[in-house]
Structure 1
Amino acid sequence: MVFRLNSHILSRIASGNGHGEDSPYFDGWKAYERDPHHPTKNPNGVIQMGLAENQLSFDLVEEWLKNNPKASISSPEGLSAFRDIALFQDYHGMPEFRNAVAKFMAKVRGDRVTFDPDRIVMSGGATGAHETVAFCLADPGEAFLVPTPYYPGFDRDLRWRTGVKLIPVECDSSNDFKVTREALESAHEMAQLDGIKVKGLLITNPSNPLGTILDRDTLRSIVHFINEKNIHLVCDEIYAATVFSQPDFISITEILGEDDMQCINLDLIHIVYSLSKDMGFPGFRVGIIYSYNDAVVSCARKMSSFGLVSAQTQHLIASMLSDDEFVEKFIKESKARLAKRYQLFTRGLEQVGIKCLKTSNAGLFMWMDLRGLLKEKSFDGEMMLWRLIINEVKLNVSPGCSFHCSEPGWFRVCFANMDDQTMEVALSRIRAFVNKDVEARKLKKQLRWQGSLKLSFSARIFDDFINSPHSPLPQSPLVRART
């Protein structure tokens, strides 16, 4: 006899939807997995533009690995270290690993700040780091404020297993989605009115999905806000080394070193970092918690036993990041390649009238403004457009609603996870899509004008005409979507 597991047998957490997978952000990934683009095997498949990966500088890493075979215990040259690495490692992390990471974190911040290796805690990627921090700082039912738009994975990382709530701090395009003191105060007040205890504020700097950085005045305002409210500040700085043009990135650590910050309670400040974006190593699962709070460091270090970075990975990373010449070259070249790809992609979009957030100068993506292509100015209209882009244009871009954006029509599009050829294919598809829409709008305008001359084209007749397979004009997916 075969028994099937029913949801009521599982825990509420396991059987619930707290993972947040029921989202167009993750649905886009699934569409890609079902029909992935390949230049020869499946040229008409979906192109993955919803995954923030940095694949532009892999050749630099591969070159270093060839020249430093002893860094890997899997090579004949590194085999002598195998026994020590394969045996049990303390969850504090190898000293050489923590030293190398602390040094690298300072380097990508322009060596304007330093980090104490004894405050570095390992975790299985930024995902595990965020959950650990949430576990340390808040009880179930308590909340973090998060400026919008924000990374959809936060709904999973911070909430699913901790029971912590996230309260959006609404930001909009009127000031390029800048975080303001007024917006923070409003969200905090609303939480109090709803009887929700706010334990912290989570910011991403550089921002995912905006690709912007927080300026010095904004960071100072944020620090004063959390200090006055006596709540924690969690700074996600995992894109620190992806800033490819001026102004430079400013870490929260740099702000804390200013003369007038002596009154700030450092126990409230915590940084989440990883090597997934800056180095392009998401598969290595190297997440970092850096806290100024001794109790948080102690608790997080104990919890790290649930998601340790493998000793083999620590050994390799420690060797690589200790090579000053390589690190210097990698950071400089990676920024240059990101800048070039960004320029090429934005130029391609501009050719068909698509603009992106103008203040973006970081990250592996851009915040694309498609408000002009919406059939209706609503989130239903945004979802309609997104389905057309996924199903007909065959591009996985992520709609703004999945990032909790307050305005419909914005999309995040990733540009660093593909080669030049694939980028050109993606741009050609976008151009064809927009041009079809332009032609359809011209035709509709023409028919409306003719209608004013008593030519009997009802809206339904027009729709039947433009959707007809015998129509000699290009068919617009935007028009077809009305039925």
Structure 2
Amino acid sequence: MSSLLSKKAACNAHGQDSSYFLGWEEYERNSYDRITNPEGIIQMGLAENQLCYHLLESWLANNPHALGFKSQGQYIFRKLALFQDYHGLPEFKKQAMVEFMSEISGNKVRFEPQSLVLIAGATSANEALIFCLADPNDAFLLPTPYYPGFDRDLKWRTEVVIVPIHCKSSNGFQITEEGLEQAYEDATNRNLRVKGVLITNPSNPCGTTMTVDELNLLLNFIELKKIHLISDEIYSGTVFNKPDFKSVIEVLNERNNNNNNSTNQIMIREQVHVVYSLSKDLGLPGFRVGAIYSNHKMVLDAATKMSSFGLVSSQTQFLLSVMLSDKYFTKTYIKENQKRLKRRHKMLVGGLKKAGISCLKSNAGLFCWVDMRHLLKSNTFNAEIELWKKIIYDVKLNISPGSSCHCNEPGWFRVCFANMSGRTLKLAIKRLKDFVADHDEFNYHTKYHQPTT
């Protein structure tokens, strides 16, 4: 009986009733396997990076002491098994993690360990920041399209309201001043107090890196409105083509060097917060390693307290401190990962092009933002969902419809490419190509062979 439960448990505001999560449910009921279920649904809705596991496994095989909990020849199991400081193991937080984050940014940013909070994954990091910056019924502005999971991750427990910043395909879904101001006005017209803007850079689902102009536009906007900016940069190491990734911290540093008004620069630095994790760049989502980077002391203090509800295990920190301290390995991994992502991206984009399907030009991420507007029966979201259902149930591919990402243009889909083998991706492309051919043939006969009356 729901009357015996809390309002939180009984409500349907968890955001998991969207087509994004429904697609996952269908996949789990009928998942593809080359041997046991070759007609099953291929999972293309999972942004997971499996392209360089051989490098990780090879490193582990060559460094058994990391898995055996040995440091300098001594077993440290007892040390790791006992309670640790919530701030994290010094060798991980103060050295390995911040150095890896800097390496991912091309060593253009020096991340300071005293400004870092470790927490169990980016999901926890984003939610903790929302708890720190906003109260129930406050608003955060998010550019569309955005990651569908944010409707759960940011809203369910915090009870904040997401207000979309509508972006358009005509300029590659870039953020504009007009879009920012309109979203802010929409929020205030609803009597919502806007507390910040949250972005993903590189973008999930677009797979694009933000321009310096966009980042400066955002920094000017939050300075003017006296609100916060959260930059989710968990895909920063997946950039495989120009332009290079630029962290918002790098842009902040450049502004600081070019601006004499030091008071304003100190204030705006405290309004900017970065989320990072090892789930996408290193392909370790199961390890649950996330981080909050902030220059706001009260935010750091509160986030550290909140991290006690989702700590990174000491064993995980130790293993990764050894791995990420191996600079030859990290350099090799980053380079090879980018090379393989580029190759896989090219495979998907090229295959879809042969099927008559185009993608938004992108240079990062584990997915493509795919344009299927020409396959819609009408320019409506109902038609988009109808097409999505055909792709799920008939084509047997789980992809994410744009409406689940709050895109305001029907017909766009997020399609992931790094969570499967090359053979499986080729099969998925063939299935989609066959579907488009059948679709075009049906439309031809419908148009030119109507029965006469």
Shorter-chain TM-score above 0.5: yes
The counterpart of 1:27, out of the listed 22, 27, 43, is 22
| DSSP 3-state at the match of 1:129 | helix
The match for 2:294 is: 291
The match for 2:202 is: 206
Alignment pair present for 1:227 and 2:229: no
Using structure 1 for the length normalisation, give the TM-score. 0.90
Please give the root-mean-square deviation of Cα atoms over the aligned residues, in Å: 1.3
Displacement of 1:296: 0.6
Displacement of 1:76: 12
The match for 1:130 is: 126
Code of the aligned partner of 1:42: N
Displacement of 1:73: 3.4
Matches within 5 A, 1:4-403: 6-73=1-68, 80-98=75-93, 99-258=95-254, 259-261=257-259, 262=262, 263-264=264-265, 265=267, 266-358=269-361, 360-403=362-405
Using structure 2 for the length normalisation, give the TM-score. 0.96
Displacement of 1:81: 1.4
Contact 1:176 1:357 in 2 (8 A): yes
Code of the aligned partner of 1:400: G
Contact 1:73 1:79 in 2 (8 A): no
Superposed CA deviations along residues 43-64 of structure 1, whole A, max 9, x for unmatched, are: 0000000000000000000010
Q: Distance in 1 between matches of 2:181 and 2:429?
A: 41
Superposed CA deviations along residues 361-420 of structure 1, whole A, max 9, x for unmatched, are: 100000000000001110000000000000010000000000000000000000000001
**Shift in alpha-carbon separation, 1:345–1:19, aligned structure 2, 3 A:** same
Q: Distance in 2 between matches of 1:219 and 1:12?
A: 39
Matches within 5 A, 1:409-420: 409-420=411-422
| DSSP 3-state at the match of 1:163 | coil
- Identify the range of structure 1 (257-266 vs 276-285) with the bigger mean alpha-carbon deviation: 257-266
Code of the aligned partner of 1:294: K
**Shift in alpha-carbon separation, 1:132–1:434, aligned structure 2, 3 A:** same
Contact 2:129 2:303 in 1 (8 A): yes
| DSSP 3-state at the match of 2:123 | helix
| DSSP 3-state at the match of 2:76 | helix
Code of the aligned partner of 1:180: T
| DSSP 3-state at the match of 2:293 | strand
Displacement of 1:75: 8.4
Q: Distance in 2 between matches of 1:390 and 1:352?
A: 18
Displacement of 1:78: 7.8
**Shift in alpha-carbon separation, 1:345–1:293, aligned structure 2, 3 A:** same
Contact 1:69 1:77 in 2 (8 A): no
Q: Distance in 1 between matches of 2:22 and 2:193?
A: 32
| DSSP 3-state at the match of 1:411 | strand
**Shift in alpha-carbon separation, 1:387–1:78, aligned structure 2, 3 A:** farther
Q: Distance in 2 between matches of 1:301 and 1:413?
A: 35
Q: Distance in 2 between matches of 1:420 and 1:205?
A: 26
Q: Distance in 1 between matches of 2:389 and 2:408?
A: 19
Contact 1:72 1:78 in 2 (8 A): no
Q: Distance in 2 between matches of 1:362 and 1:17?
A: 34
Displacement of 1:18: 2.0
Ranges in structure 1 where 5+ consecutive residues have no aligned partner: 1-5, 457-483
The structure that has the greater radius of gyration is: 1
Matches within 5 A, 1:451-462: 451=451, 455-456=452-453
Code of the aligned partner of 2:43: Q
Q: Distance in 2 between matches of 1:75 and 1:433?
A: 54
Displacement of 1:278: 0.4
Code of the aligned partner of 2:192: I
Ranges in structure 2 where 5+ consecutive residues have no aligned partner: none
Give the share of equivalent positions with the same residue, in percent.
53
| DSSP 3-state at the match of 1:161 | coil
Q: Distance in 2 between matches of 1:312 and 1:424?
A: 38
Q: Distance in 2 between matches of 1:220 and 1:156?
A: 29
Contact 2:69 2:75 in 1 (8 A): no
Superposed CA deviations along residues 158-216 of structure 1, whole A, max 9, x for unmatched, are: 11111111110111111111101111011111211221000000011000000001011
The counterpart of 2:436, out of the listed 434, 437, 440, is 434
Contact 2:145 2:205 in 1 (8 A): yes
Q: Distance in 2 between matches of 1:148 and 1:424?
A: 30
Code of the aligned partner of 1:143: A
| DSSP 3-state at the match of 1:257 | helix
| DSSP 3-state at the match of 2:317 | helix
Code of the aligned partner of 1:63: S
Contact 1:357 1:368 in 2 (8 A): yes
Q: Distance in 1 between matches of 2:54 and 2:89?
A: 27
Contact 2:50 2:420 in 1 (8 A): yes
Contact 2:69 2:76 in 1 (8 A): no
Contact 1:71 1:78 in 2 (8 A): no
- Identify the range of structure 1 (252-261 vs 347-356) with the bigger mean alpha-carbon deviation: 252-261
Q: Distance in 2 between matches of 1:388 and 1:301?
A: 46
Contact 2:70 2:76 in 1 (8 A): no
